[in-house]
Structure 1
Amino acid sequence: MNEFVMSDLMGLMPYAPIIAVVLTILVVMIAITVKRSHIVTAALTMIGLNVSLVLLLLQIFGLVDMGSTLPTADQLFVVDNFARFNMLIVLVCALACSTLSYAYLSTLRDNKDELYLLMLLSTAGALLMVCAQHMASFFMSLELLSVPLYGMLAYTYLRERSLESGLKYLVLSATASATLLMGMAFIYAEVGSLAFRPISAVLPQLFGSPILILGAAMMLFGVAFKLSAAPFHAWTPDVYEGAPAPVATYLASVSKVAIVALAIRFLLDTSLLALPSVQLLLTVMACLSILAGNLLAVRQNNVKRLLGYSSIAHMGYVLIIIVSAAGAATSIGSMYMAVYAFTSIGAFGVVTLMSSPYRPTGEADDLVHYQGLFWRRPILTAVMTIMMLSLAGVPLTAGLITKLFAILTVVQFGHWFLAAMIILGSAIGLFYYLRVMLTLFKRPKAFIEFDVNKAWAGRLGGIMILTVTAMILVFGVWPAKLIEWSALASIW
């Protein structure tokens, strides 16, 4: 009997980081029930995420015996190098977002504790997503990520835009989920299996099946909505603008990393990427995302909306990597998303710190609010400048390395038109990123509506943002480690 118990426990070892997050959810729920305390809830959340992160690092460096996965779990989830790399990014981003939430919620008069609970639930879904290799685990983990986001987006419900953001995401996300389910049903009807690998095995016999192509297209439409890829992008700027700043940070980092990882595994494990119709569909969505995201961002005067449109363009770059690089998409795509997530945390982190002291009057999301920031907060201005440069792909930042690898990979596979699209999109993007930077150095306004706390750099949120900025610069100047680590992110 003891041998069976030990065998079951060893079978759960690969999922130890996920189990740690689930246990943290239970502990936080009990803590909230016993006594509401913002600092206690935030501390328990960060401790739980750090424990999960440590367990994952111990596994990555081989300091803990991984054991072997349970047969039943192995059919639904797989914990390989690709999953571990993306789990690491998800946990780091979730920890950063919870840190920003503490700074943001400090002036909120209403209940603060539930946001951490929702964030932990969504993070558990994200961790499961990067390990999913079955349609059932695909959908359930995606919903576990998405459903808490409805509450997180509308958390500051006294602001009309926040409530609108949550409701809009709820309605459109439900539509996307229904489309995704219908696509799964079509694929199951044709293939007779919900697991990813069996679909790959029978695909050669069903290569031209219209039902299979329809099912794959509907699933891609559902995933494209979650990714905010064009032409399913219209919700993104509105939701980003209305969402509380740390929640917008979470949406731009944790959510996007998990969905891209799941999309890559699904397309490669099922071999659906080999279908010419799927390649054409992804190519069209990628090109539309780059053009729509960048061209619409040029007109924006709202920082959060600008970053929302920027995310649409960056998802276009990632889709180009997926459709062009095939097997290499696991490492190049993961590296791109890691750098994009950290850069988004830095950019939205500045917005969060600027907004938190004036929570009752709204957020510092208009570009005018940052006019002349350099003359009173030079270090914070440097952080925002580095993030804009990284998003633009300027030398000495990690953003250049990821875009350079994307272009080199696409050219290596002979997709010259797609390489030109990346270059064109980056050129357009440079214009509006520079516009944000120029605003920071303009003459200060006479009346300052929003400002960061003078001691921001010594607080948790400030320390986290400075750490992320240092990472962007270090990986930009010395990218060898980033390339080495991302090369290990392989499905096979």
Structure 2
Amino acid sequence: MNDITMNDLMGLMPYAPIIAVVVTTLLAMIAITIKRSHVITGTITVTGLNVGLFILLAQIGGVIDSRYALPNAEQLFVIDNFAQFNMVVIFICALACCTLAYAYLANLKDNKDELYLLMLVSTTGALLMVSAQHMAAFFMSLELLSIPLYGLLSYTFLRNRSLESGLKYLVLSATASATLLMGMAFIYAQVGSLAFKPISLVLGDIFESPLLILGTALMMFGIAFKLSAAPFHMWTPDVYEGAPAPVATYLASVSKVAMMALAVRFLIDTALLALPSVQMLIMVMATLSILVGNLLAVRQTNLKRLLGYSSIAHMGYVLIVIVSIGSAADSITSMYMAVYAFTSIGAFGVVTLMSSPYRLAGEADELIHYQGLFWRRPVLTAVMTIMMLSLAGIPLTAGFITKLFAILAAVQGTNWFLAAMIILGSAIGLFYYLRVMLTLFKRPKEFIEFDVAGQWGIRMGGLMVIGVTAVIIFFGILPNSMIVWSSMASIW
């Protein structure tokens, strides 16, 4: 009996980083019931996420043996190199968001502790998503990520925009989840399996089944909503604008990385990407995302909305990689999403440091609030400038390397039209990214509505955005380490 128990425990070793986050959530709950303290809850959260990250890195480095697998013929989850790479990115992004949230919530008069609980639960869902290989695991982990987001988006509920943001995401996300479930039902009715891999084994016999194509299309619509890919992008700018700045950071980083990883595993493991109709659907969504995202971003004067439209365009670039090189897209999409997530943290991090939950004027999200920032906050201006250059894909930033790999992937797949779309989208994007940078260096305003604390650079949020900037520059100048690191992110 003891041997069986020990085997079961050893079988859970690959899931130790996820278990660490679950335990942290329980500890944070207990701490809140004993005594409400922003410092204690924040410390428990960050410590728990660090413990999970260190365990994961020890597993990747071989210090902790994680080769055990649960004795189950049809596992719900799998911990492979692809999952571990994306889990590292999620841990780092979640830590960054919690760090930014701590400074942001300092002036909040309401309860602060529940925000960390919601972030921990949502992060657990994200970690499970990147390792899901079964339809049931797909849906459960996705909902575990999404449901806490409704509360997070509405957290500063006395601001009407925050409440509107949460409500809008709730209604539209529920619709997307229903669409996903219907798609899964159609695929199960045709294939007879909910696991990803068995679908690929029977695909040859029912290659052009109308039921299979309909089910896959419905699932792709649900995935496109979660990724904010056009034409299912309508919620993105409104939700980004209304969300509290640290939550918008979380939505742009952790949520997007987890959803993209799950989508890539689903499409590769099921081999549904081999269907010409699915390829055409992804190509249309990628093209629309690039055009809609970039063209609508040009008109924006609100920085959070601008970054929201920018995210739509970037999802289009990643979809091009997936449709161009198929089963070889795992490592390139992982690298692209990691760099995009870090860049989003840097850009939204500046907004967060400049913002406060309950100022009468709202958050520092209008471009005019950043006019002349260089003359009083040169380091913060440098951070925002480098993030804009990376998003635009300018050389000597990590964003340039990932854009280059996206173009090479399109060329490798002989999709010349899609390669041209990436170049066209980048050219349009350059216009509005440069406009943000020019605003930073304009003549300073006489009246300053928003500014950071005098010693912002020595606070954890300030150190974090400076650290992310250093990473973006390092990978841009010396990309080999990033390329080697991401090449390990392969699906078994």
- Alignment partner of 1:204: what SS? coil
- One-letter amino acid of the counterpart of residue 283, structure 1: M
Partner of 1:248: 248
- Alignment partner of 1:76: what SS? coil
Alignment of 1:272-311 (within 5 A): 272-311=272-311
Q: Percent identity of the aligned residues? A: 77
Partner of 1:128: 128
Cα deviation, residue 252, structure 1:
0.1
**Change in 2 beyond 3 A, CA 1:8/1:73:** farther
Cα deviation, residue 356, structure 1:
2.9
- Alignment partner of 2:64: what SS? coil
**Change in 2 beyond 3 A, CA 1:419/1:303:** same
Partner of 2:29: 29
Segments of structure 2 that go 5 or more residues without pairing to the other structure are none
- One-letter amino acid of the counterpart of residue 365, structure 1: D
- Please give the alpha-carbon distance, in whole angstroms, between the structure 1 residues aligned to 2:49 and 2:74: 24
Partner of 1:94: 94
- Please give the alpha-carbon distance, in whole angstroms, between the structure 1 residues aligned to 2:328 and 2:216: 21
Segments of structure 1 that go 5 or more residues without pairing to the other structure are none
- Alignment partner of 1:301: what SS? coil
- Please give the alpha-carbon distance, in whole angstroms, between the structure 2 residues aligned to 1:225 and 1:214: 17
Deviates more, 1:1-10 or 1:383-392: 1-10
Give CA-to-partner distance per residue, 1:39-72, whole Å, 9 cap, x none: 1000000000000000000000011111411123
1:401 aligns with 2:397: no
Partner of 1:137: 137
Give CA-to-partner distance per residue, 1:151-187, whole Å, 9 cap, x none: 0000000000000000000000000000000000000
1:335 aligns with 2:335: yes
- One-letter amino acid of the counterpart of residue 22, structure 2: V
Partner of 2:43: 43
Cα deviation, residue 395, structure 1:
0.6
Give CA-to-partner distance per residue, 1:17-55, whole Å, 9 cap, x none: 000000000000000010000010000000000000000
- Alignment partner of 1:131: what SS? coil
Partner of 1:412: 412
Contact 1:96 1:345 in 2 (8 A): yes
- Please give the alpha-carbon distance, in whole angstroms, between the structure 2 residues aligned to 1:386 and 1:134: 40
Contact 1:108 1:359 in 2 (8 A): no
- Please give the alpha-carbon distance, in whole angstroms, between the structure 2 residues aligned to 1:298 and 1:360: 28
Length, aligned pairs only: 492
Give CA-to-partner distance per residue, 1:286-342, whole Å, 9 cap, x none: 000000000000000000000000000000001001110112210000000000000
- Please give the alpha-carbon distance, in whole angstroms, between the structure 2 residues aligned to 1:289 and 1:318: 10
TM-score (structure 2 length as normaliser):
0.99
Partner of 1:467: 467
Partner of 1:233: 233
Alignment of 1:362-373 (within 5 A): 362-373=362-373
- Alignment partner of 1:164: what SS? helix
Deviates more, 1:117-126 or 1:318-327: 318-327
- Alignment partner of 2:225: what SS? helix
**Change in 2 beyond 3 A, CA 1:152/1:73:** farther
- Please give the alpha-carbon distance, in whole angstroms, between the structure 2 residues aligned to 1:98 and 1:131: 23
- Alignment partner of 1:308: what SS? helix
**Change in 2 beyond 3 A, CA 1:452/1:358:** farther
- Please give the alpha-carbon distance, in whole angstroms, between the structure 2 residues aligned to 1:327 and 1:16: 28
Contact 1:357 1:452 in 2 (8 A): no
Partner of 1:325: 325
Give CA-to-partner distance per residue, 1:207-266, whole Å, 9 cap, x none: 110000000000000000000000000100000000000000000000000000000000
- Please give the alpha-carbon distance, in whole angstroms, between the structure 2 residues aligned to 1:359 and 1:126: 32
Partner of 1:423: 423
Contact 1:153 1:247 in 2 (8 A): yes
- The RMSD of aligned alpha carbons is 0.9
Cα deviation, residue 360, structure 1:
5.3
Give CA-to-partner distance per residue, 1:430-488, whole Å, 9 cap, x none: 00000000000000111110001111110000000000000000000001110001000
- One-letter amino acid of the counterpart of residue 30, structure 1: I
- Please give the alpha-carbon distance, in whole angstroms, between the structure 1 residues aligned to 2:48 and 2:365: 31
- Please give the alpha-carbon distance, in whole angstroms, between the structure 2 residues aligned to 1:74 and 1:159: 47
Contact 1:107 1:359 in 2 (8 A): no
Cα deviation, residue 84, structure 1:
0.1
Alignment of 1:6-25 (within 5 A): 6-25=6-25
Alignment of 1:171-250 (within 5 A): 171-250=171-250
Partner of 1:150: 150
Contact 2:25 2:117 in 1 (8 A): yes
- One-letter amino acid of the counterpart of residue 459, structure 2: R
Partner of 1:375: 375
- Please give the alpha-carbon distance, in whole angstroms, between the structure 2 residues aligned to 1:145 and 1:80: 21
- Alignment partner of 2:118: what SS? helix
- Alignment partner of 2:355: what SS? helix
Contact 2:353 2:452 in 1 (8 A): yes
**Change in 2 beyond 3 A, CA 1:170/1:73:** farther
Cα deviation, residue 413, structure 1:
1.8
- Please give the alpha-carbon distance, in whole angstroms, between the structure 2 residues aligned to 1:169 and 1:478: 39
Deviates more, 1:64-73 or 1:397-406: 64-73
- Please give the alpha-carbon distance, in whole angstroms, between the structure 1 residues aligned to 2:279 and 2:108: 47
Contact 1:10 1:67 in 2 (8 A): no
- Please give the alpha-carbon distance, in whole angstroms, between the structure 1 residues aligned to 2:215 and 2:358: 48
Give CA-to-partner distance per residue, 1:127-171, whole Å, 9 cap, x none: 000000000000000000000000000000000000000000000
